[in-house]
């Protein structure tokens, strides 16, 4: 599964919760988390592993943070090979968290079985901010953080995306993206 979305959408938190649910069901889960690299120093924080504390201690989970090192599209130059290595290593589920910064961060969509766009419910003008490119590639749009005071904004943004998705050209004859 490939996951992308804007900063603050809760990608790492979602992956940790989903990953723990999968490992509790006896799946072996691999997480390939891609972080942006600095154009100045070339360095990267690689902080996703530290934000997935429970999953990082799970014996049935493997978390590999990797820097983009200038590669565009939200993944690294070797993400596809890393996916294959994880599958060959016996991992039933491979989750790829992209850099997730904008409308062109969807190269992972061609590497995975399902591409999920994770969105927060109250980030402003979401349809304008996310743009068409990444929406067209999504197999599933998940509105995250949809609880408490954010229930109403989450339902509103869900309705906006359901309407927007109807206007897009279908990528598959058998699958209609869900919101």
Alpha-carbon torsion angle 100, 95, 80, 39, nearest 10: 30
Beta-strand relationship, 29-35 and 115-119: unpaired
Nearest CA to 48 among 58, 60, 35, 30?
35
Please, what are the domains in the chain?
A: 2-167 (3.40.50.300)
Hey, what are 63's tokens?
Answer: 């978390």
Which backbone phi and psi does 170 adopt, to 5 degrees?
A: -75, 135
The percent of residues above 70 in pLDDT, for the chain, comes to 78
pTM: 0.84
Q: What residues in the chain have per-residue pLDDT under 70?
A: 36-50, 68-75, 100-106, 123-132
Q: Residue 166: what pLDDT?
A: 83
Contact at 8 Å (CB) between 131 and 124? no
At a CB cut-off of 8 Å and minimum separation 6, what does 103 contact? 130, 131, 132, 133, 134
Q: Residue 129: what pLDDT?
A: 47
């Amino acid at each position: 599964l490939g996951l992308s979305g804007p900063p603050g959408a809760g990608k790492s938190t979602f992956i940790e919760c989903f990953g723990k649910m999968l490992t509790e069901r006896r799946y072996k889960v691999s997480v390939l988390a891609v972080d942006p690299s600095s154009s100045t120093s070339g360095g990267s924080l690689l902080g996703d592993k530290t934000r997935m504390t429970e999953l990082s201690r799970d014996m049935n989970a493997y978390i590999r943070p990797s820097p983009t090192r200038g590669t565009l599209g939200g993944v690294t130059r070797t993400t596809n090979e890393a996916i294959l290595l994880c599958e060959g290593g016996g991992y039933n589920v491979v989750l790829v968290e992209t850099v997730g910064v904008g409308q062109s961060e969807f190269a992972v969509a061609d590497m995975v079985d399902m591409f999920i766009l994770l969105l927060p419910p109250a980030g402003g003008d979401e349809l304008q901010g996310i743009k068409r490119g990444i929406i067209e590639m999504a197999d599933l749009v998940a509105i995250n953080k949809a609880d408490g005071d954010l229930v109403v904004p989450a339902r509103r943004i869900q309705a906006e995306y359901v309407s927007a998705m109807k206007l897009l050209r279908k990528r598959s004859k058998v699958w209609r993206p869900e919101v």
